[in-house]
Structure formats: structure tokens, C-alpha cells
Amino acid sequence: MPAPSAIAGTPPLLRASLKHEARSFAPWIGIATALSVSSVIVYPWLFPEAVERRRFAATVGANPALGLIFGPAYDLSTVDGFNAWRSLSIGGFLTALGVIFIVVKASRGQEDSGQAELLASGVLGREARLLTALLMAGVCALAVGVVSFAFTVLCGGAWESSLLLSAGFTVTGLMFAAVAAVTAQIASDARTATSIAVAVLGVLFVLRGFLYSVSAPRWTAWANPLGWITETRPATGNHWWPLLLGLAFAAVFVAIGFARQVSRDFGQGLIASRPGPARGTARTPLALAIRINRGPVVSWSVAFVGLGVIFGYFIRTVRDLFSVNPALAEIFAKGATLPAELLAGFLATILTLIGIVAAIAGVQIVNRVRTEELEDRAEPVLATAVSRSRYLAPSVLLAFAAPALFILIAGVVIGALAAAAHIGLNFGYPPLQAVATIPAVWTVVALAVAVIGARPRVQIASWAGVLVSFGLTLFGPSFKLPGWALGISPYYHVPHVAAGTQDWRGLLWISLFTLAFLVIGFMGFRRRDVP
């Protein structure tokens, strides 16, 4: 642990940081809570009879493809067992993702923006900022656990299994807050630190699901920190002791993070960044936008190849799964009943989820415009003959083109695997469905353009399209929400290409919204102050 002098000033810094950043915790708390609560509420609706529950448990429990995403299904014949299967892995993943952003932003992000220098001019120890970042992440992770537990129990979940499930969310968050504390010392900037931490999380998540789906030996679960959380088995064992392994993991990585904090130079990482060329090669705003975002674009491209493989493997088993359990269509195929409708609806749902992930990449590119402003790199460019519209347009173009490329990559991979499985989907259907999904992705990205262009002070609102689309896609069909409510998500209007008939009018409406958001964004950017 750091010496008292090294953490001097932590309490007032923590209070100020929480006052400023606590509102950003809400989406992560809300999504994890909604995931658990919806599972408890929806299960009795979908499977009211004991025979239906046993059939569901037998078919889904024996389907390894579902384990790629949700993990092992230990008991799906009870409400709490279903909740543990549906929520533990995904909720833990989302909590970990949230705390990674919190830790990196409050540690290396402050160094990159210059805030750390201002703070250091006061009475502030060298380790105070990192400790504050970890405490903020701990508050967020604890809030996820407490709120999800309270609402899950109120909605009918058993208190012990719900408490263990929520504790799994919290401990997962603490583990990856510690990982982020280490990557913040290794990387040369906040963006790289976030990318490394998220990559570690993603690899461990996919590896856990893959090892389960191929029936790997049981000891492999203990080689993965996420496997420790799975082995708590809420509602089917209620094993608390694996959480101690997670806390020990977090403690070790926190200690490493503090040790590395002392040994690195301020504003630098343990892995030094390569010096750039003596003379810049970005001659145009488009070249500059590509140069700034090329690393994430390459990383995202690789990630979408992996997503295509995962969901392509998943879709190979969909026909048998739906034929045995029609109720699953409410979750995965929007209530379709005919075989062609099942495949079309399931394919649309899969590519909707991929499209939401693709939109995340697009929103990140748009938010990079704001980052360049705050770090005083936009002003020198705008001081030249480059107009504001000409400066913004290349980033918007890249934010549109990159997600389109990503979803097409996933569509082609899914199409190849589906065609090889002979399940009734031709190779061309998934790529065509991917193309049909692109306008919905653009609407979400355009909303971010409107926020960053016109009202950047509410930057968190740039993620509203992603969060709303994710929530309505994941929970809307299960709760049997009316069409007008589901229609708030642009992805609801995407036609099912593999079905016999298509209605393309929805794409026209969301395209009009996309155009309106772009107009608002560009007009706002031309008129507002640039810091």
C-alpha cells in the first residue's frame, strides 16, 4: 500500500470526482439491473408450466452454442437458475466494461488532458489520483451489486442467489478495475490503456465461453478469472468462496498498479510510444481523421471477425433449438412461428446485436472529435484555411464507413458458416441482412454527431442511441412491448431479408432522422465555441 504522504488529498479529490462523474455510473447500473430484473419477470411469462421449463432446460442446457455467450446452464428449470444463466456473465462483462472506462479516465485520462498537472500543483500525493480512480470504480461496482440485488429481490428473486449474483457483478468489476489500473501504467496514453484492458476482458470472455462450448476439462474454468465467477453457481450451489479468488486477483493487480505508478514518468507509459516522423504525412482533414483512428479501426475489424465466428457457430443450431422450444422465439426471433420466419427473425436479431456493437465503434470515432477539442489539437487545424465543416466531415464519414465495414465483415463470416451448416440460409442472406442493418447503425451514429456538434457538454447523451437500442432489442420482445415502443430503436425498422416479404418503408423514416441529426450536428458545430 502507498505511504500516507503518497495518498494525501485523496478524500477531497474523491468527493469532487464523484460529484462530477457519478452520473456516468447510471447506464452501467441500469443495464445490469435491467438484465437481472427482466430475467426474473420474463421467465414465468415464457414458461408458465413445469413441463415447459423442463423442456427448456433440457434443450438449452444441451446446446453448447448458447454457452458461448451466456456460459454454462446449470439449472434452467427455476426462475433464479434462469436468471443466473442469463445475467451472470453478461452483467459481469458490462460492469467490468464500465469500471475500465472509469479507472482509465480518472488516472491516465487526466494526464493526457492536463488536469493532472493542475491537481498536482496542490497538496496531492503521487498515488492519490490512482487511488481515487480505483475507489470510484469500487463505488460503481458496489452500486451495481446493491441496486441489482434490491430490485431483483423486489421482483421475486430468491435473496441468497440474487445476492450472490449481484456480488458476482461487483467482484467482476473490481477485478477489471485492477486490470485497468495496470494497463494505465503500461500504455502511453489513455486510449491505448482502455483498448488493452477491454481486449483482455474480451479475450477472457470469449475464451470462457469457447472452452465451455467445446466441453473442455473442468480445470480450464479455474484458469480464467471470469470462470471463477461462473463457478459461484447462483441458485444451483451458491458457492461464495470463488469470490475470494476474485478479490485476491484484484488485490494483486492493484498492488502492481501502484508499484508501476512510482516507476514511470509522468504522462508516459512503461511501454514508450514510438516517435512520429519528423514531417507529418496527413495533408488533408480526411488523412488526419484516418491517422487518428486507424489503430481502433484495425482492432475493431479483428474483433468483428471473431463476432462473426461466434454468432455463425451460434446460428448453426438455431433450427433444432426453436423446433423443440418455440418459446425461445420470444427471446431470439421476435415471436416468429414459421420456419422461414424463425430463421429470418433470428438472423435479424443477431445482426442487430452486431450492429449495436458496430455503432459503438462509430460513436467512439465521433467522440474523438470532442477529445481532440479538449486536448487543444483541433484549434491549430481550425486556425488554418480548414473550415469547421471540412474539419468535421471526414470524422463523420469515417464514423459511417467503419461500422458499415465491420457489420459487413461479420455478415460474410456468418454467411459462410451458415451455408456450410445447411440450415436453410444461403450464403448471401447474412451479408444482405447486414447491408439492410447499416442504415440503423448510421442513425445511432448520426445522433452522436448531433450531440457532439451542437451540445458537447452533454457528451454522455451521444451514447443514448446505443443504450436505448440495446435495451429495446434485448428486453423489448421478452416484455412484449407495443410496436410504438419498440420502434424507438432504429433497428426495429430493419426488414428481414431472408423472409418472403420485406417492408422497406422503415429504412426511409430512419434515413430521414439520420439526415436531420447530421444537419443539427454540422450547424451546431459551425456556430458553437471550440475550446
- Give the torsion sign (CA, 60, 349, 81, 168): positive
17-68 per-position pLDDT tens digit: 888 888 889 889 998 998 899 889 888 887 888 887 887 777 666 566 666 7
* Cβ atoms of residues 200 and 100 within 8 Å: no
Q: What is the mean pLDDT of the chain?
A: 84
Name the more confident of 81 and 474.
81
Is the confidence at residue 392, as pLDDT, over 50? yes
What is residue 324's DSSP assignment? H
Query: Measuring CA to CA, how many Å separate 206 from each of 67, 300, 501?
Result: 10, 15, 36
The pLDDT of residue 337 is 46
Mean pLDDT of 265-281: 66
- Per-residue pLDDT band at 3 (split at 50, 70, 90): low
3-state secondary structure of 329: helix
Cα–Cα distance between 386 and 292 in angstroms, integer? 17
**Could you tell me what percent of the chain has a pLDDT over 70?**
85
- Per-residue pLDDT band at 335 (split at 50, 70, 90): very low
What is residue 273's DSSP assignment? P
- Per-residue pLDDT band at 466 (split at 50, 70, 90): very high
User: Could you tell me how far CA 403 lies from the centroid of its own chain?
Assistant: 15
Which residue type is seen at 400? F
Name the more confident of 112 and 324.
112
Cα–Cα distance between 232 and 277 in angstroms, integer? 52
Longest dimension (CA), the chain: 72
Cα–Cα distance between 143 and 28 in angstroms, integer? 10
Is the confidence at residue 360, as pLDDT, over 50? yes
- Per-residue pLDDT band at 336 (split at 50, 70, 90): very low
User: For the stretch 338-363, what's the b/e string if a residue is b when 16 or more beta carbons lie within 10 angstroms of its beta carbon?
Assistant: eeebbbbbbbbbbbbbbbbbbbbbbb
Cα–Cα distance between 87 and 145 in angstroms, integer? 12
Name the more confident of 202 and 346.
202
* Cβ atoms of residues 50 and 169 within 8 Å: no
Mean pLDDT of 287-314: 86
Name the more confident of 272 and 30.
30
What is residue 432's DSSP assignment? H
Domain ranges of the chain: 1-265, 283-531
Name the more confident of 280 and 283.
283
What number of helices (H) and strands (E) belong to the chain? Answer: 22, 0
487-498 per-position pLDDT tens digit: 899 999 888 886
Please choose, from the candidates 250, 10, 170, 198, the residue with its C-alpha nearest in 3D space to the C-alpha of residue 106: 10
CA angle (350, 195, 305) in 5-degree steps: 35
Please choose, from the candidates 87, 194, 103, the residue with its C-alpha nearest in 3D space to the C-alpha of residue 148: 87
Mean pLDDT of 211-234: 85
Mean pLDDT of 138-163: 94
Name the more confident of 310 and 389.
389
3-state secondary structure of 226: helix
- Per-residue pLDDT band at 322 (split at 50, 70, 90): low
Please choose, from the candidates 360, 385, 388, 340, the residue with its C-alpha nearest in 3D space to the C-alpha of residue 502: 340
The pLDDT of residue 437 is 94
Residue whose C-alpha cell reads 441489482 in the numeric block: 148
The pLDDT of residue 294 is 86
Mean pLDDT of 199-227: 83
| Grid cell at residue 277 | 516522423
| Grid cell at residue 146 | 446493491
Please choose, from the candidates 266, 6, 269, the residue with its C-alpha nearest in 3D space to the C-alpha of residue 111: 266
Cα–Cα distance between 498 and 340 in angstroms, integer? 7
Mean pLDDT of 288-309: 87
Q: Which of 343-352, 444-453, 456-465 has the lowest mean pLDDT?
A: 343-352
Task: Count other C-beta atoms under 10 Å from residue 513's C-beta.
Answer: 17
Is the confidence at residue 92, as pLDDT, over 90? yes
Cα–Cα distance between 148 and 142 in angstroms, integer? 10
Element (H, E) at 95: helix 79-106
Cα–Cα distance between 368 and 121 in angstroms, integer? 28
